[in-house]
Structure 1
């Protein structure tokens, strides 16, 4: 099992909410992939979409507070973007190369994940089998990201690392965890 903890940083030019932290852990055992996010701190300043009675696949979740991760096949340009909304909605997109050939990943028809509201934050956990998209013996590179929409309308972009002059979660040099 490959298990690692992580802590995200806001993009330097963003106006992050003071006293906000995003951390978690990620693991892969065989092709079982697990990720846990913890958003802690001054969450009363974070705008969350209303919880969905029937969570579903939805587009453009990144326009609001959204927990994301990117999986890339090692030594390949292909990668996937997973979007998890605190409202319960989700989506997965497949790319052939950097921002090229974006398509909804139809190998998944559901992406059940848990959302737990805490007194000082929010926790999101996902446990998913990757067999539909990646062979178990194939190394993957992971980028972990979050979009935080503030109640005042400002948006901050959080990631393990920011490699460019603009916030860009699709950059493969930011997929810094190998599993």
Structure 2
């Protein structure tokens, strides 16, 4: 999966990044409005940008820039990063209004810690359009990802969306296989491909 490498620090409100579209859901059904995303790194942070052209159903507790568990029960964009050597991976959830959540796993659905631990120094941003469409971004400290996950050329990742709550539609950039939607299949995540901006 393409990760844009930027030589200069990125700034919310001045982002000039290409967005990649997702046009089908888990079952291959076409979407009437594409979801879009970008993953980029600057010298200090990994940026995850997500957008959708339709109004979102937000988690009732979601507040901008607040850490909120169980965002996946409503509309959300998700970034998964894994170290194939150790099998450890992170899940980052980003609500359309910039609420967020994160968790570290040692194996599929096996949490590293029983309780929620806030990943430090994450910054989130969001903008809602008058028609209800949205764009949100998350900036994650790169040094922590490098230390905890050996983030770099061998990393694998995936971007997913849950949209249309309460009749949820599940989207995944990587082909995660058959059956019911299950985003916790790190062995099927896509290798990182860094491209200079």
TM-score relative to the length of structure 1: 0.79
Distance 1:78 1:137 in 2: 11
Distance 1:102 1:64 in 2: 24
User: Closer, same or farther in 2 for the Cα pair 1:133/1:87, shift >3 Å?
Assistant: same
Indicate the SS of the match to 2:49.
Answer: strand
The equivalent position to 2:124 in structure 1, one of 108, 113, 130, is: 113
Gaps (5+ residues) in structure 1? Answer: none
Q: How does 1:1-179 map to 2 (within 5 A)?
A: 2-3=3-4, 5-8=19-22, 9-12=24-27, 18-30=31-43, 32-40=45-53, 43-44=54-55, 46-49=56-59, 55-103=65-113, 106=117, 108-120=119-131, 121-135=133-147, 138-139=152-153, 140-150=155-165, 153-162=166-175, 163-179=177-193
Distance 2:20 2:123 in 1: 22
Pairwise CA RMSD? 2.9
Indicate the SS of the match to 2:72.
Answer: helix
Indicate the SS of the match to 1:131.
Answer: helix
Distance 1:141 1:61 in 2: 23
Distance 2:130 2:20 in 1: 22
Structure 1 residue 106, shift from structure 2 partner: 3.4
Number of residue pairs aligned between Structure 1 and Structure 2: 172
Q: Give runs of ≥4 in structure 1 deviating > 6 Å.
A: none
Distance 2:137 2:182 in 1: 24
User: Closer, same or farther in 2 for the Cα pair 1:81/1:53, shift >3 Å?
Assistant: closer
Structure 1 residue 169, shift from structure 2 partner: 0.9
TM-score relative to the length of structure 2: 0.72
Structure 1 residue 156, shift from structure 2 partner: 0.7
Gaps (5+ residues) in structure 2? Answer: 5-17
